[in-house]
Amino acid sequence: GTRERGNERLNIHPPPPRHHLYPMTATLTTVTIQHRHHPTVITTPPLL
């Protein structure tokens, strides 16, 4: 019902329901933010 739709909206912000992908995506997001501030300092290994 309506609760499921509410959950779908929340699911749009985080990655797919796979729990092991959530921390990776969070790390990639942090890397992207830091990359804007100092791209030369950020050097991340190929996670994907």
Q: With contact defined as beta carbons under 8 Å apart, do 15 and 25 qualify?
A: yes
Is this structure's pTM higher than 0.85? no
Q: How far apart are alpha carbons 46 and 1 in whole angstroms?
A: 40
Give residue 46's pLDDT: 55
pLDDT at 15: 54
- Res 23: pLDDT: 59
Domain ranges of the chain: 2-37
> pLDDT by residue (tens digit) across 1-48?
455 555 555 545 555 555 555 555 666 666 555 555 555 554 556 554
Q: Taking CA 30 as the corner, what is the angle to CA 48 and CA 44, rounded to the nearest 5 degrees?
A: 45
